[in-house]
Structure 1
Amino acid sequence: MFLRCDQTPLWPVLQELFDAGLHSLDLRQAFAQDSGRFGHFSQQAPHVFADLSKNLWDRPTEGLLLGLAQECGLAAQRDAMFAGEPVNHTEGRAVLHTLLRRPQGMALPGDTPGIARNLAEVHRTLDAMLQYAEQVRGDAAITDVVNIGIGGSDLGPHMAVRALDAFRAAGKRLHFVSNVDGHELHGVLRSVRPENTLFLIASKTFTTAETMANARSALVWFGAEGGRDVARHFAALTTNVEAAGALGITTTFGFWDWVGGRYSLWSAIGLPIAIAIGAAGFRELLAGAHAMDEHFRTAPLAANLPVRLGLLDVWYRNFHGFTSRCIAPYHASLGRLPAYLQQLEMESNGKRVGADGQALPYATSPVLWGEPGTNGQHAFFQMLHQGTDVLPLEIIAVRQAAHPLPGHQDKLLANALAQAQALMVGKASPEDGHRHFPGNRPSTFLLLEALTPASLGALIALQEHRVFVSGCLWGINSFDQWGVELGKVLARDLESRLASGDAAGLDGSTAGLLARMRGG
């Protein structure tokens, strides 16, 4: 067992340091007193440049946080994950999404038995999946691809396909259906024709309630609209080949129980991405992620970007008491990134008990939220600048545009720079409080040279690993999600009650709402 952050000798030292004055650190003074602050708190990682200098910490604090990571055994926990040890202890599973990005035949020190076999299976599946993707891309009769999945089977592929729109194949429209609300599926079906549509049903077990309801409705629609040859127009991303076959779906691509849903876009779940950007583009996505994996695996903790971000997250959550983090991508194609990161972090680290199953005495995951940059400026940035709560902002910008329109990119980047600057410097207005900006509000700035498959892969892997870092320090299992189960169980019961009207044993509120929904 590894030490939990609050059980280390350095935890009370950090608390004492914070109480003694770091809670009131002034960024403007910090820059005035340290001419090398930007150089120290910025770094280039694979495909991602990060500026952490506008955050509420100094060099001694970062040094103590790095010591905290060492006391918690972060490096050993990281190595255990890469080696394939069962770090998902509540389910007794390895956590090997990084294996999905590892080059064929590559061995790492400490690999557990079976890693080489698993890696060979990964590449066999990858090759078959990419061959199928190229077949679809070359089929002019298929103009629309509808991905039906939910959670990790939707958020990752949806985000990536939108992010890489500049690389998308001409003549192919990608649609994503996740909500069991029939309005979403119906809206997509109205815009496609069965003879020109490929449906991808993404569910590891082929039992996910929302996904299977949508899949069955799509099959009914396909037949009712004159569709023929289910085997040609439906494919399944699942390990339950038998269940898929029972619906007439014969093309299937599987993955493994050591791939969590929110870490699965690198697997067969990424088929819509591969159809959108091609096999070569998908391999570049994997290569970008692998480059960040290697940085996280090999870089010293003090120069390790996922580690520094994860330590900053712990510093903000447990010492400053910040309850949320705002994500503002200054690139329209990254519009789904905040939603993707919500699942990645809040499902991973939204836990209230430690490895021993006992309640933790401190807070864990912050709330993640956000919108594309300039849109957010005209919506919720008012609160970031002048609200009563301090809410750290994470800006993600891209230096090179992928469009030819003159003038737009400079305006976009100027806005990104200006918001980070304004949050820090503020504007004093003693005579008019309405126009007073207190400043000293923290932000992190992540900059990509261009938004490409490789840089997107690196950016996503960076976020995956920072979540792992904070989870390790908090002593929680970042790879299970038992909290989503109870609602599913109750929903099955209530679905039958909506049909029968039986309210026996229900609480007064649920019984009243049930009657109201039935028109009673």
Structure 2
Amino acid sequence: MDISSLSALSKAAKSRAIISLFSTDENRAEHYSTGNAGLYLDFSKQNINSTELNQLFELAEKSSLAEKINAQFSGDIINNTEQRAVLHTVLRAPDEKKQAILGAQADEVIATEQHMADIVNDISSGSLLSASGEKFTDIIAIGIGGSYYGIKVALSALNTFHTTGLNAHVIANVDGAAVEEKLAKLNVATTLVVVISKTFTTQETLLNALAVKNWMLKHSSDADIIEKQWFAVSTNIAKATEFGVLEKNILPMWDWVGGRFSLWSAVGLPLALVIGNENFNKLKQGAYHMDQHFQNAPFEQNMPVLMALLGIWNRNGLQYSSLAILPYDHSLRALPGYLQQTDMESNGKSVSNTGEKLAWQTAPTVFGQEGTNGQHAFMQLMHQSDDIIPTDFIVCLKGASNLPEHHQVLVANCFAQSEALMRGKTLAEVETELQAAGLTPSEISTLAPHKTMKGNTPSNTLLLEEMTPENLGALLALYEHKIFVQGVIWQVNSFDQWGVELGKQLGNSILSAIKGGEMSMLSASSQNLIKRFNTASN
């Protein structure tokens, strides 16, 4: 069994109705579901039977998945193009595991975690004050990519756990209007800044940091405002101190923590400042519980492995090119964007980890929106176009509001959409409905084709008991591990992102051209656009 064989294996599934699988196994819902770490996965609406699923388990075995899971958690160099270990998981492990895996470096990691906790305690208690002697009310987190998405998704997901009284504002996009919009709401005297950049050279982050710095200096009479109100998370202490951040206010990063997996590190400082140390630790504990499940559960009950294999079945067997992430929870509205980066930046590649051109497709195009808003947008296409888009539905059994009927309707819509995408509606069913509604044969003939729906869309449904730091941690870790498993089987390096670099390089060339530099190396189209921009700007 290999990936190239999946298309032939899926031949029967392509002509099979998913709903028929429930007829051949009356306990399918029980047989095709599992749970752990506060999460429950129902994958019974996937277009797969036990024979096909067993073939996928064989594929995982042939890919040495168990050995590669162990290699990651043990600190082996699995990011081969950058010669790095991948150990974000160790940051949520107990100290004794840190010491066993990291050796002497564990002391630095543990000390950093304590330093971070002390900062949170000092600021939330009021023992660390602003340059003007006031208690902080707001935090600006400045970052981009992995230094942004994780913080953003956790801040919104855990909004009911914002216990310290601090308000967080995230600046990422290099758009001056976005920066000014945030700053207009803030008071310089009570605003803390955390700038996050591993190298302290990222263009967007530094430009935004400079704008915030200038805003502070312009509106404050305290000459030491940057020293007293700024923290940094970076490996480049020299650049950060040159910018004005005190060395004691710089928390380190490590090259074995990739940006899109860095929430568990000091990158999570803005989040911890808002939810407090106890809740931040619970977030990591939930992720650790999922880590343990991933490492120890047999593949047949292993949630990340199952989701990964089902995704490969849909991508390479059934040839579906997209994945919809539909959280029916307002607090998880940022999750689709977070998973766009985590999934597509990790596995959106066409070359193997040994440098060979792959003979199969890899990461799907990930998109999504919170329910029920998506039902009034792209779900029309999902129901009635010819494209079949596998879907992950995510919902909490217990709502966070004091409006229980709202939550019942929300959950009902979530379950209904997964059912409707699977069932569809045939022409005969539509004609029967219209006839019962009293339409004439002529009217039925005209209208019926427009009301048919193809169905047979596969989906997972993920249930969280409720939104808590532990459950969010488990959910994020679940998707991290799912993506890792898919990378192993697709034979790509899930932990580099060379495709991001070309845009950065050309961005610098075009910025130089905008400022009067050479542009002859650029296409006529880009030269024309630059000229039009400069004409409008002058």
Give the structure-1-normalised TM-score: 0.95
Matches within 5 A, 1:105-116: 105-106=96-97, 115-116=102-103
Q: 1:416 aligned to 411, 414, 417, which one? A: 414
1:58 matches 2:49: yes
Aligned to 1:475: 491
The separation in 2 between residues aligned to 1:266 and 1:491, in whole angstroms, is 31
Aligned to 1:267: 265
2:244 partner letter: G
Alignment partner of 1:38: what SS?
helix
Aligned to 2:344: 346
The separation in 2 between residues aligned to 1:292 and 1:122, in whole angstroms, is 21
Cα pair 2:98 2:106 within 8 Å, conserved: no
Alignment partner of 1:49: what SS?
strand
Aligned to 1:447: 463
Once the 2 structures are TM-superposed, how far is the Cα of residue 17 of structure 1 from its aligned partner? 2.5
Q: 1:169 aligned to 163, 168, 180, which one? A: 163
Aligned to 1:179: 173
Aligned to 1:3: none
1:293 matches 2:309: no
Q: 2:21 aligned to 17, 26, 30, which one? A: 30
Out of 116-125 and 448-457, give the one that drifted further: 116-125
Alignment partner of 1:198: what SS?
strand
Once the 2 structures are TM-superposed, how far is the Cα of residue 501 of structure 1 from its aligned partner? 5.7
Once the 2 structures are TM-superposed, how far is the Cα of residue 438 of structure 1 from its aligned partner? 2.3
Out of 431-440 and 125-134, give the one that drifted further: 431-440
CA distances 1:299-327 after superposition (whole Å, capped 9, x unpaired): 11111110011111111111111111001
Q: Which runs of 5+ in 2 are unaligned?
A: 127-133, 432-447
Alignment partner of 2:456: what SS?
coil
Alignment partner of 1:447: what SS?
strand
Cα pair 1:14 1:61 within 8 Å, conserved: no
Cα pair 1:339 1:369 within 8 Å, conserved: yes
Give the structure-2-normalised TM-score: 0.92
Aligned to 1:486: 502
1:194 matches 2:188: yes
Percent identity, please.
Answer: 40
The separation in 2 between residues aligned to 1:282 and 1:90, in whole angstroms, is 32
The separation in 2 between residues aligned to 1:178 and 1:476, in whole angstroms, is 28
Once the 2 structures are TM-superposed, how far is the Cα of residue 233 of structure 1 from its aligned partner? 1.1
Give the RMSD, CA atoms, in angstroms. 1.5
Aligned to 1:101: 92
Q: 1:239 aligned to 204, 226, 235, which one? A: 235
2:95 partner letter: Q
1:91 matches 2:107: no
Cα pair 2:164 2:276 within 8 Å, conserved: no
Larger Rg: 2
1:16 matches 2:12: no
Decide whether aligned partners of structure 1 residues 356 and 409 sit closer, same or farther in structure 2, where only a CA change above 3 A counts: same
Aligned to 2:525: 509
Once the 2 structures are TM-superposed, how far is the Cα of residue 93 of structure 1 from its aligned partner? 0.5
Show structure 1 runs of 4+ deviating over 4 A: 10-13
The separation in 1 between residues aligned to 2:417 and 2:30, in whole angstroms, is 20
1:500 partner letter: G
Cα pair 1:100 1:119 within 8 Å, conserved: no
Decide whether aligned partners of structure 1 residues 13 and 200 sit closer, same or farther in structure 2, where only a CA change above 3 A counts: closer
The separation in 2 between residues aligned to 1:238 and 1:502, in whole angstroms, is 33
Aligned to 2:435: none
The separation in 2 between residues aligned to 1:29 and 1:494, in whole angstroms, is 56
The separation in 2 between residues aligned to 1:427 and 1:458, in whole angstroms, is 36
Once the 2 structures are TM-superposed, how far is the Cα of residue 13 of structure 1 from its aligned partner? 5.2
The separation in 1 between residues aligned to 2:379 and 2:164, in whole angstroms, is 37
Q: Which runs of 5+ in 1 are unaligned?
A: 1-8
Q: 1:435 aligned to 434, 446, 451, which one? A: 451
Once the 2 structures are TM-superposed, how far is the Cα of residue 12 of structure 1 from its aligned partner? 5.8
- Count of matched residue pairs: 507
Q: 2:153 aligned to 136, 139, 159, which one? A: 159
Cα pair 2:3 2:316 within 8 Å, conserved: no
Alignment partner of 2:77: what SS?
coil
1:495 matches 2:495: no
The separation in 1 between residues aligned to 2:87 and 2:303, in whole angstroms, is 20
Decide whether aligned partners of structure 1 residues 184 and 68 sit closer, same or farther in structure 2, where only a CA change above 3 A counts: same
Aligned to 1:307: 305
1:491 partner letter: G
Cα pair 2:164 2:273 within 8 Å, conserved: no
Q: 1:258 aligned to 247, 256, 259, which one? A: 256
Once the 2 structures are TM-superposed, how far is the Cα of residue 227 of structure 1 from its aligned partner? 5.0
CA distances 1:4-61 after superposition (whole Å, capped 9, x unpaired): xxxxx45565443223x12222111110111121111100121110000001111111
The separation in 1 between residues aligned to 2:80 and 2:3, in whole angstroms, is 25
Aligned to 1:249: 245
Cα pair 2:3 2:360 within 8 Å, conserved: no
Decide whether aligned partners of structure 1 residues 499 and 12 sit closer, same or farther in structure 2, where only a CA change above 3 A counts: closer
2:535 partner letter: G
1:384 matches 2:382: yes
Alignment partner of 2:214: what SS?
helix
Aligned to 2:210: 216
CA distances 1:225-277 after superposition (whole Å, capped 9, x unpaired): 12522111111011212211112211111110000000000000000110111
The separation in 1 between residues aligned to 2:515 and 2:4, in whole angstroms, is 57
The separation in 1 between residues aligned to 2:6 and 2:143, in whole angstroms, is 44
Alignment partner of 1:206: what SS?
coil
Alignment partner of 1:154: what SS?
helix
The separation in 2 between residues aligned to 1:493 and 1:46, in whole angstroms, is 48
Once the 2 structures are TM-superposed, how far is the Cα of residue 118 of structure 1 from its aligned partner? 3.3
The separation in 2 between residues aligned to 1:416 and 1:227, in whole angstroms, is 53
Decide whether aligned partners of structure 1 residues 296 and 509 sit closer, same or farther in structure 2, where only a CA change above 3 A counts: same
Q: 1:457 aligned to 470, 473, 492, which one? A: 473
1:138 partner letter: S
Alignment partner of 1:266: what SS?
coil
CA distances 1:417-470 after superposition (whole Å, capped 9, x unpaired): 111111112222334111112222111100000111000000000000000011
The separation in 2 between residues aligned to 1:328 and 1:387, in whole angstroms, is 18
Decide whether aligned partners of structure 1 residues 121 and 288 sit closer, same or farther in structure 2, where only a CA change above 3 A counts: same
Cα pair 1:162 1:333 within 8 Å, conserved: yes
